[in-house]
Amino acid sequence: MNEPDGGNRRSRRGRRPGESGTRNAILAASRKRFAEQGYDNASIRDIAVAAGVDPALVHHYYGSKESLFIAAMRLPNIPGLVGKALESDPEALAEGRLGELLARTVVMIWEDKTLQRTAIGLLRSALTHERAAAMLRDFVRSTIFGQIASTLRSPDAEYRVSLAASQVIGLLMARYVLRVEPLASASGQEVVRAIGPALQRYLAGDIGTDSGTA
Amino acid sequence: MNEPDGGNRRSRRGRRPGESGTRNAILAASRKRFAEQGYDNASIRDIAVAAGVDPALVHHYYGSKESLFIAAMRLPNIPGLVGKALESDPEALAEGRLGELLARTVVMIWEDKTLQRTAIGLLRSALTHERAAAMLRDFVRSTIFGQIASTLRSPDAEYRVSLAASQVIGLLMARYVLRVEPLASASGQEVVRAIGPALQRYLAGDIGTDSGTA
DNA sequence: AATGTAATTCATCAGTCGTAGAATTACTGC
DNA sequence: GCAGTAATTCTACGACTGATGAATTACATT
């Protein structure tokens, strides 16, 4: 007779006793893989292995790779975080510390591993996957554009914000994706000191157009 | 009656009369595809179709996808261009126009379609393909770092240059890959006016460390 | 004219991918 | 205890991928 409770028999078919937390394991593993390899290079089989699970379970829970990606990349309300940061320091705009505030928020968000993976996954996947690019644009729009552009009272607010966004994106790319040294190893404080004033200038300084504080 | 480049007879086997320029067609098509889709998503079959050629010819000429990528991404001496720009304006450093000069050079390089495709192809592929990432780092090192960092006389020259690189990379990402508006549609002149001073500050201004022009 | 070499196409292989369905096992409500 | 449902694994399909080798045609040299 065969033993039903071998214990270490891996390829045992059927349901396992107790709670397995498989659904969350898949989600976490997919975040990791999407962040490290991007949408196309992260295969469902890889994700399943990383989650210690059969590939078919991924489909069972999330239906398709696309849906899994969407579920994995749904960010824990970052626009809310940015909005809170703005509200917590209402003087920032008047006192010319908007850029510094934005830089601090970005660096702070980055300290959360899950948020970091999500954002990098989006960034990585956006380059080859149109759906991911759309999600990233939406994210940028709702976060930076929505929350910040409305704070500015400038006719070229959107241009200013897109400039700031370019610096933020470049920071993430250089620091976390391409790992350009020594920027990649610099501390968050240093980065805020270096980037903050540049963002401030983009948002409210003289950028060569007719508006702005000369 | 005799059509030298018969457009309708597709499946004619064997060598064609006259010069075909197939080798270059493949290279050009691969640059386009690599730039648009990145290394992994650009298939050899796609490239062959874009070049109007049988897929096996790609292997015949370039041996493997990897070698084709290396051949396609070998840049027409950009470090030389940057060096020339620096030599042509030796006063730039002293007069605080180094950032503007760098911005102008970047924007200028971008006007060449082939260079643009090559750089974007590298950028896109770097995120999922380790080989491409290494090529891109080498390129950044030899170009920006080698030519510019040596011009600066600062102990934190490399940190400064990596900051400038982050802004340049972000500009390319936002403008040409993610197409964030209105930055993507802004003219080269506008961009130079907006970005130049930021680069200048990174390279020679006060960035919150102990060196720099306060 | 003969011969060797370069250019081109075709058929095919082994591998990977996303996906689907059937089979097996456990848990829950009656 | 029985039925239904949820969780898990296995097997497989069709599409696509990079790569290879043989067959076919043109050109260059003799």
pLDDT in tens, B73-126: 987 777 777 777 778 877 777 788 888 888 888 888 888 888 888 888 988 888
CB-strand contact B17/D, under 7 Å: yes
Cα A52 from Cα A23, distance rounded (Å): 11
- Across the interface, whether the CB atoms of B41 and A128 are under 8 A apart is answered yes
Angle at A156 between CA A155 and CA A162, to 5 degrees: 145
- Whether A214 maps to a domain, the answer reads no
The residue that minimises its CA distance to C1' of D25 is: B14
Same domain, B146 and B129: yes
pLDDT for residue B7 is more than 70: no
Kindly write down the DSSP assignment for every residue of A154-181, as one continuous string.
Answer: -TTHHHHHHHHHHHHHHHHIIIIIS--T
A170 near B CB under 8 A: yes
Q: Using CB atoms within 10 A of its CB, is residue A182 exposed (0-12), middle (13-18) or buried (19+)?
A: middle
Q: Nearest 10 degrees: CA dihedral of B84, B88, B92, B93?
A: 50
Q: What is the pLDDT of residue A70?
A: 93
Same domain, A109 and A43: no
A178 near B CB under 8 A: yes
Same domain, A194 and A120: yes
pLDDT tens, B183-204? 999 998 999 999 999 999 999 8
- Whether A10 maps to a domain, the answer reads no
- Whether B3 maps to a domain, the answer reads no
Best of B102, B128, B140 to disrupt the A interface by mutation (most A CBs within 10 Å)? B128
- Across the interface, whether the CB atoms of A173 and B168 are under 8 A apart is answered no
Greater confidence, B4 or B26? B26
Q: Read off the CATH number of the domain in which B50 is found.
A: 1.10.10.60
Cα B91 from Cα B114, distance rounded (Å): 31
- Whether B17 maps to a domain, the answer reads no
Cα A159 from Cα B195, distance rounded (Å): 12
Greater confidence, B7 or B135? B135
Cα A131 from Cα B16, distance rounded (Å): 42
How many Cα atoms occupy the beta-carbon half-sphere of A77 within 13 Å? 5
User: What are the residues facing B205 on neighbouring strands?
Assistant: B213
* Closest C-alpha to B198, from A174, A92, A167, A173: A167
Task: Kindly state the percentage of chain B with pLDDT values over 90.
Answer: 36
Q: What pLDDT band is residue B43 in, cutting at 50, 70 and 90?
A: very high
Q: What is the pLDDT of residue B211?
A: 61
CB < 8 Å to A162, chain B: 174, 180-184
Same domain, B56 and B82: no
Q: Nearest 10 degrees: CA dihedral of B6, B7, B11, B16?
A: 40
Cα B46 from Cα B31, distance rounded (Å): 12
* Residue B52 backbone class (left: φ over 0; alpha: ψ -120 to 50; beta: rest): left
Mean pLDDT of B155-184: 90
Considering B73, B101, B133, which residue would you say is the last residue of a domain? B73
Considering A30, A55, A73, which residue would you say is the last residue of a domain? A73
Same domain, B187 and B114: yes
pLDDT in tens, chain A (214 residues): 334 333 344 457 767 776 778 999 999 999 999 999 999 999 999 999 999 999 999 999 999 999 999 999 987 777 777 777 778 887 777 788 888 888 888 888 888 888 888 888 988 888 888 888 888 888 777 777 677 777 777 788 889 999 999 999 999 988 988 888 889 999 989 999 999 999 999 998 888 876 655 4
Q: Read off the CATH number of the domain in which B197 is found.
A: 1.10.357.10
Token pair for residue A176?
């976390």
CB < 8 Å to A175, chain B: 166
Sign of CA dihedral B60, B66, B72, B75: negative
CB-strand contact B7/C, under 7 Å: no
Cα B162 from Cα A34, distance rounded (Å): 26
Cα A71 from Cα A49, distance rounded (Å): 19
Domain count, chain B: 2
Q: What is the pLDDT of residue A186?
A: 93
CB < 8 Å to B168, chain A: 170
Same domain, B67 and B82: no
Q: A53 is in which domain, residue-wise?
A: 22-73
- Across the interface, whether the CB atoms of A165 and B183 are under 8 A apart is answered yes
Angle at B178 between CA B181 and CA A44, to 5 degrees: 145
Same domain, B163 and B112: yes
How many Cα atoms occupy the beta-carbon half-sphere of B30 within 13 Å? 32
